Amino acid sequence: MAGQKKKSPPTRTPAPAEAGASRTSLWERLATPAPAARTVLTPERIAEVAVGIADAEGIEAVTMRRLATELGVAPMAAYRYVSGKDDLLELMVDRAYGELAAPEPGAGWRETLRGLAVRTRELVLRHPWLVQLPSGRAAVAPTPNRVALAEWGMRALAEAGLSADETMAAVDTVGSYVQGRTAAEVATRHLMAAQGAPGDADALRTSMAPEMTWLIRTGRYPAFHHYIGTARHKDDPQWQFETGLDCILDGLATRLHI
């Protein structure tokens, strides 16, 4: 089934320029076992190098030219494997999510879901660009390893005897929370890191982004001001993340009677 004699069908469609209609899903294209010729470039290597750039210098440093340079290859070479930059980003996302290991089957649904959420947060902190993708498509694209994450969550809930709708709602709820919360955490960290305004000692004292400091001073947000002033865990994103997560898991247990 691998190699035919004459007029062998093209083994891998060369990234069909995303022609509106028949967009074969990148993963489908990549699944053909790569018939081997002069193979200098592979999707894995492309993804690995791109992830390396993004980790080291941020997602905005990942340009097709920079990637090519890093790969020691001409600027257009990677286009044989990805149909455009969006595909590249999807490849990167999938590689990153590939770092997540499957949960051990023994644990209960709650421990499993909690572990997946916590480890996903750690993954995002390791690769902050996961929640800073410039594409919007890649940010939520169903890549194989990302779908695997949902699969694990659903398997964990199988024991609970929920309906299909309830199971999906539970998994998606936790997933949405993780995505939203980690995005906010990474953004906050970036805002704080970018501060350097002189004379804004308030910003450092209250550990707040300077833009936020000014907003607070307008007096439009008394409750916000009060709470942010007295909160003790304000600089403990892990506590915030896990507190919210535990609330959600409580809620699932309560409402779904599990």
Question: Given the rule CB under 7 A, which residues bind DNA?
Answer: 3, 5-8, 10-12, 14, 17-18, 34-41, 62-66, 68, 72-77, 79-81, 84-86
Beta carbon nearer to DNA, 54 or 186: 54
Q: Does 248 bind a second copy (CB under 8 A)?
A: yes
Mask: binding to a second copy, 152-191, rule CB under 8 A, as x and -? --xx--x----xxxxxxxx-xx-xxxxxxx-xx--xx-xx
Cβ burial of 153 (10 Å; 0-12, 13-18, 19+) is buried
- Given DNA, a second copy, none, residue 121, with its beta carbon under 5 to 8 Å by kind, binds none
- Given a second copy, DNA, none, residue 41, with its beta carbon under 5 to 8 Å by kind, binds DNA
Beta carbon nearer to a second copy, 37 or 223: 223
Beta carbon nearer to a second copy, 44 or 246: 246
Count, residues in the chain: 258
Beta carbon nearer to DNA, 35 or 161: 35
From the list 24-32, 42-50, 76-84, 113-121, the region that binds a second copy by CB under 8 A is 24-32
Q: Does 41 bind a second copy (CB under 8 A)?
A: no
Report the alpha-carbon distance of residue 12 to residue 29 in Å, rounded: 6
Beta carbon nearer to a second copy, 69 or 135: 135
Q: Does 235 bind a second copy (CB under 8 A)?
A: no
